[in-house]
Structure formats: structure tokens, C-alpha cells
Structure 1
Amino acid sequence: MAFRCILLMLFLKVYTGFSQNKDFLIHDNYKRSYITYLPKTYSIDKQHPLILVLHGGGGTATQIMQSTKAYFNVLADKNGFIVVYPNGVKKSWNDNPKRDTNSFSRKKNIDDVSFIKNLIELLELKYSINPKAVFACGISNGGLMSQTLAMALPDKIKAVGMVASNFGSIQIEESKNVQPFSILFIHGTADPIFPYQEGDIQVFNKSRGHVLGIDKSITYMCNLNGNEKLPIKLSIKNKALNDNCTSEHCIFPNPKNPYLKIELIKVTNGGHTWPGAKEQRFISKVVGNTTQDFNACDKLWAFFKSIID
């Protein structure tokens, strides 16, 4: 109880109304910030799912909310979940300090796992949250951080979504006694930064660590969860003919536990982008194509919703 009281004291900004709100907490002598969005239907009389949305390296909470057209907030109003956009220290996440030391958070070995754990506990104190429906998702570095959270905080994180990201080799090598969890991968086959196949993350022609690629990441998860390795494949309508992409939804069934899910949305010719996000033509040559055939926010929420008890 004393620990929870201390956490409340660290909650520096008192919530004064619904919708979007910027908050802070002190963690390891850093003033950490995050944006909270409460749905219009928020009520203390019922428990709400919580989705943590993690920006990519070099991004911010505001940036990922804006680039995704704040569509998670729209979905939150329609479906009654809470969205929180945390900020990494100096625009980066410490998914694993051994991956590389090119970012501030990994160079300084910032304890982002503990930060997210404390953040979830603060949010559970402040708002009416379903502790069995806490999810994390992110793009790129934020995707790797989501993987780390799922493996390190099995009692907190129900499921994760990785956009333009797949499993880091270091995280797999160092993770012990990992408990099964549900996961959705959304990845472009022409991603120039996070390779769809096994290889090194490339940023400005410099390696930022090794990743398993989608196939080996899914194989790892199927072995962990007991899911079938032969997927059920569902086509996604090619609505935007000028985005140069097509997409396919692959579902890996679990015969013993249908709520333990592994899914992949494969975006053929897709780049290092968030499907359905604002198109940034001036950097498209660097990151590749952004499909507009679907919105990743829709797919992530549908996935998370499907495993809520």
C-alpha cells in the first residue's frame, strides 16, 4: 500500500477532464511524459481496456498520434478503451542495451521496462482499467520495446502488436522462462530498415542490431504458444490501387487455446511505415510505401479485442 501511495505522489498532473491529457511521472531521476486519452464513454463504474502505443526511434508520443491521424482515439471513443502514448527518453526506447548503443536510452541503459510497469500501475490507480486487458503496440524501436515488455512483464501485458518490426535476436537469446503471449505482426516485405527476412536493422547504412525476420519470429512464437505453423490465409481487399501494395492476413491457430493468438498481416511491397498513416512523400524514398488498403489501428484493436476475456 505504501508503494502505491508513493506512485500516486509521483503522478504530477491531476486529471481534470476527459479526452487528451499530458501527464508526467518521475522515474530513475528522469521526468517522463506521456499522453493519456480517455474515451468519451469513460466511466468509473466499468473497467476499460488499456492500449499503450509506443513511438519509433526518433519519434515522440505526439508524432505517432499525429501520423496515425489520432485514429486510436477515434476507436477509443467508439469502443470504450483508454489509449496512452508514452515518450521514450530523448526519443528512444531501451528494448535491449546490447542491441546497439546508438540511442541515448540504450547507451545509458534506461530502465524502460520498469518505467512502463510503474506507468501501468499509476494508470490503474488513477483510472478504471481492466488489468486483464492491457496491451502494447509500437512501430520500429517501439515494436521491439513491445516485444521486450511482453517477455518481461507477463503479469501486466496481455498481448502486443509489432508494426514494421520483428523479434530482436538479443531479446530472444537473453529471455529466459518466457510465458506464452498473443502477438500480431504487421510488416512490409520491402521494409528497408527492419528486414522482413532475417538480417540487420539498417539506419543510414549502419547496423542497429540483428533481427530474426518474420518467419523465424513466428516460428519462435508457435513453439512457445503451441500454435500451428501452417497459417490460414485471408486476403485483404486492395482498395488503394496507387499505393503499390497488396496485403494478406495470416492466422496461426491454437488448437488448445483459441485466445492465445499469433497473427501476421503481410504487406507485399510495403515499407517501414504504419499502414493507413499519413503519407509522407518527401521521405517515401527512404522508408518505402505506405499501404492505404487498411489502417493498422483497426487491425490492432480488432486483434486485442478478440482476446479480451
Structure 2
Amino acid sequence: MDGPLPILFHLHGGGGTGKGTAKLTYGRFNDIADREGFIVVYPDAIAKNWNDGRTEHLKPENIGVDDVGFIEAIVERLKSQYQIDPDRIFTTGMSNGGFMSTRLLCDRAELFRGGAILTASISEGYFSQCAPSQPVGVLVMNGTADPIVPYTGGEIRLFGKNRGSILSHEDFVAFWKEKNGCLEELQGEHIPNTKPWDGTQVEIRNFRNCHPRGSLKVYEIQGGGHTWPGGRQYLGRRLIGNTSREINACDVIWDFFSSLN
């Protein structure tokens, strides 16, 4: 590949692995990376959990782990091995990986040009600590019927245990609208419902007159669950809800990142 290479981190969910995350998307990011010319990284967290700003979900071996520093170290290692474009480093993930991507944007906005947050927002406890050093491109994609990470915010409960309290989807969007200096939201756009059997519809919200570095785009998956649109239905619908087939999240995410100046 010619020229400096972008990097995309795809962070796994809680209890997952990098390998499993690649399988979740049917390897779609790998295909896009081969075509577009970037490096996709699937790191593994200690004990399969990222230290994403919540405390309730952590195992003893996760407490005090500097996962932000870990991701930074991977970037530095890649820079020592390849010609990397420092202005095109991105992060994405769902669930625990989405919360961790939020933390990376909060703590290292100067390192990441953009992030895509799926089935996640930010914890109430960490919210006050999130102070990005500069605006950053953000894509948010949440399902309105997520049975694990509540769309309306509040406490995450999994297997009867509290996994932390979080901001609602709407409050999370408002947070990034303010941080990115977006002055106007355009009328919502509905994607044609070509696969009604999947139980979902997709609405896109676009924002403009943002800071030059502060793009914001929102996908609301009506009827969508704790799932990756276009990915595997990795558990039954009664447990995780519907997986939308109206869009492929990998394609949407890379199109968004590619649009960032």
C-alpha cells in the first residue's frame, strides 16, 4: 500500500475477544481495509473487559488497568513498523467496546480523529470527567429496544447484576452536539424499510454548522437490540433483541470516517 495508512481500532464487547469481534461482522472491516488501504486492529482486553470508566462491571484483575495507555502503546508500535497517518486514527466498538471508544475520545481526542459508538453511551460516574481536548468526529448508533444497555439511560443490569448507570441515548447525543459545537440539526431521514422481517427501521440524524473537526451523525435503530447492524445474530432475539439488516454498520462507519477532513 502506498502512502501513510489510517488505523481503525475495533474493540470487543464485555466477555469478548478481538477474534470474536471480527467474526461478529463476518470480517467486513477486513474486506474494507483491503479495498481502502488501512490497518484494522482487534485488541484483547485483560480478562475480556475494558476499563471504560464504569467500575461496576470490572473484575478484580481489571481494576486500575490503563486501557487508554494500552491502545496508545499499540499506536506507537504500529508507527514504528509502518508509515501511519497520524490524522486518521479511529476507534469503534459495541457495548463495552463502545463505552471504551467513548473513553478514548474523552481522554485522547488529540490522538483520535473520530469514533463510532454502538449500543453504548457514557457512564453517569465518568460523564463529569469527559473533557475532550478538542472536537472529534462522532457517530452514534443505538437500538431503541436494546434489552441490555437501556436506550433511555439508567442502570445496566446483566444476569441480575448492576453494570453501572449510564446517560440516555438522547443525552449522549446532546453531549456530543455541545462538545462539537453543532448549531443545527437537520430533519431526520428514514432509510427505506426493505427488510421488514428483521423488526427494525433506521432513522438518520444529521448535524451541521459544527466545529470543522467536530462532525456528528446519529443512527437510531428503531426496534434494534444489543446487536451490530448487518452482523451476526450472536444470541437469540429474546436475549439481545433484533439485528437490523437494513444497513451494514461497518460500511456506514467507514463511510463516516472517510468523510472527516
TM-score range for the pair, normalised by the shorter chain length:
over 0.9
Aligned to 2:106: 151
Distance change in 2, residues 1:274/1:256 (3 Å): closer
Q: Map 1:1-309; keep pairs closer than 5 Å.
A: 43=1, 45-96=2-53, 98-104=54-60, 106=62, 108-176=63-131, 178-228=133-183, 230-257=185-212, 259-280=213-234, 282-307=235-260, 309=261
| Residue 241 of structure 1, CA deviation | 1.8
After superposition, give the CA deviation of every residue in 1:229-260 in whole Å (9 maximum; x if it has no partner).
Answer: 53442221222221110001111212553x42
Pair 65,92 (structure 1): closer, same or farther in 2 beyond 3 Å: same
213-222 vs 226-235, which deviates more? 226-235
Return closer, same or farther for 1:234/1:101 CA change in 2, 3 Å cut-off: closer
Do the aligned partners of 2:91 and 2:114 also contact (CA within 8 Å) in 1? yes
Q: Distance in 1 between matches of 2:244 and 2:182?
A: 28
- Where structure 2 has 5 or more consecutive residues not aligned to the other structure, the ranges are none
Contact in 2 for aligned 1:151/1:179 (Cα 8 Å): no
Once residues 158 and 76 of structure 2 are traced to their aligned partners in structure 1, the CA distance between those partners, rounded to angstroms, is: 34
TM-score scaled to structure 2, two decimals? Answer: 0.94
SS in 1 for 2:163: strand
Shift of 1:104: 4.5
Q: Distance in 2 between matches of 1:105 and 1:195?
A: 27
SS at match of 2:120: coil
Q: In structure 2, give the amino acid aligned to 1:140.
A: S
| Distance in 1 (alpha carbons) for counterparts of 2:132 and 2:196 | 45
Larger-gyration structure (1/2): 1
**How many pairs were matched up?**
261
In the alignment, is the contact (CA less than 8 A) between 1:94 and 1:105 conserved in 2?
no
What's the TM-score once normalised by structure 1's chain length?
Answer: 0.80
1:136-180 residue CA offsets vs partner (Å, 9 max, x unmatched) = 000100001001111111221111111111122222112346432
| Alpha carbons 1:192, 1:202 under 8 Å: kept | no
Calculate the aligned-residue CA RMSD, in Å. Answer: 1.6
Of structures 1 and 2, the one with the larger relative CO (CA 8 A, separation 6+) is 2
Q: In the alignment, residue 297 of structure 1 is paired with which amino acid?
A: C
- In structure 2, distance between residues paired with 1:105 and 1:233: 44
Does the C-alpha gap of structure 1 residues 63 and 255 become closer, same or farther in structure 2, counting only changes over 3 Å? closer
Q: Distance in 2 between matches of 1:222 and 1:68?
A: 28
Q: Percent identity?
A: 34
Give, in whole Å, the separation in 1 of the partners of 2:39 and 2:225.
29
